[in-house]
Homo-oligomer: A and B are copies of this chain.
């Protein structure tokens, strides 16, 4: 993998770059749609390539449970299995395994479903995390080594080191312990990676929660190791402001010559706020999840819900000026009707539109940074 910066904005830390991989180029900043089980929900790989999705995010956790990394290796790797000829990134599985306990900050605050889900976790130790498959109850031990091994079997262009996801509400002392263990796990991930070289890049995941000092320490420790790029993970706080404060402290501590990735963020407002800090890639299932609920994104960073009554008689394209397949072929009234009739076609068409729009939005950002407008 090679990373090249084409332009650094004169107005902020935003930059336009290119990540070169064997499977193709990723222009940055870019949005990385999530294809949890090896497909972006309601879409298929060939369609996604035609939507100009340059990097797609698959979840190792889900793929090792179904169909298993051995099977995907046997199929010739993830690219071949899902028929995608462009770059892929996989995560370590840690996030999903731990979020079985903690869930999101919101559900953590609500204290919902935690008990039931945490029953799936059997043990967390220095070695890794032992949990039960939510599919068939099988015991699975996920360690830095087994995660990287699985990610090597999957064969994505970019892989991510195994980390611990601590909850948002955590004692500073416990967070420090967690951070130290995450660092040890990430180092073990890197070592396993370097000892089993394949044509893959590996990203570290910077942790430290919302604690500025810990974030700096994490950046310092991990950037001293030969990782190819840096994911920003862990808890970003309970709202967007806390996330932006965290980025403000953290970003000056990351090397400018390596790509970075903000994990799990994909709403239009957050992307807008994060771009000036110099974030290169964002992944999120939000644009397609929103699509499945009728939410249509617009290039001006706003969105609307096509299920609203007013759209029942809107006999024109859902988004004015949009040239996506959906907007070129169907009216808002028809898509409104398909949602009202619970037709899956509605979700398919809305997903196409939102992914197309995300790609357009990111293209606009690159242009604006080139022109020092951001």
Chain A residues within CB distance 8 Å of chain B: 37-39, 41-46, 62, 66-67, 71, 74-76, 81-83, 312-313, 315, 325, 329-331, 333-334, 336-338, 340-341, 343-345, 347-349
Contacts and interface: CB of A to CB of B under 8 A. Distances in A.
A38 B334 contact: yes
A318 B340 CA distance: 33
Given A315-B76, A329-B45, A341 B81 contact: no
Given A67-B337, A71-B333, A345 B43 contact: yes
Contact of A41 (B41, B76, B329, B343): B343
Q: Which of A46, A76, A81, A345 has the most CB of B within 10 A?
A: A345
B66 A340 contact: yes
A309 to B, nearest CB: 11
Given A39-B343, A74-B313, A338-B39, A330 B67 contact: no
A311 to B, nearest CB: 11
Given A46-B329, A76-B315, A329-B83, A340 B67 contact: yes
12 contacts: A37-B338, A37-B341, A38-B337, A41-B345, A42-B348, A45-B329, A67-B337, A74-B313, A74-B315, A75-B334, A83-B330, A83-B334
Query: Which of A39, A76, A313 counts the most B-chain CB atoms under 10 A from its CB?
Result: A39
A312 B37 contact: no
Given A67-B336, A344-B344, A348-B348, 20 more contacts: A37-B337, A39-B338, A41-B345, A42-B345, A42-B348, A44-B330, A44-B345, A45-B330, A62-B341, A66-B340, A67-B340, A71-B312, A74-B313, A75-B315, A76-B315, A81-B331, A81-B334, A82-B334, A344-B347, A344-B348
Contacts of A344: 41-42, 344, 347-348
Contacts of A46: 325, 329
A330 B82 CA distance: 7
A81 B37 contact: no
Nearest to A44: B345
A331 B74 CA distance: 13
If over half of A's interface residues share one DSSP class (helix, strand or loop), that class is named, otherwise mixed; here it is helix
Contact of A313 (B71, B82, B337): B71
A343 B44 CA distance: 10
Contacts of A39: 338, 343, 345
A35 to B, nearest CB: 10
Contacts of A75: 315, 331, 333-334
A345 B43 CA distance: 6
Contacts of A341: 37-38, 62, 66
A37 B346 CA distance: 11
A373 to B, nearest CB: 37
- Chain A to chain B: the 3 pairs with minimum beta-carbon distance, closest first: A37-B341, A67-B337, A39-B345
A209 to B, nearest CB: 32
A333 B81 contact: yes
Contacts of A74: 313, 315
Contact of A312 (B67, B313, B330): B67
Contacts of A345: 39, 41-44
A67 to B, nearest CB: 5
A292 to B, nearest CB: 9
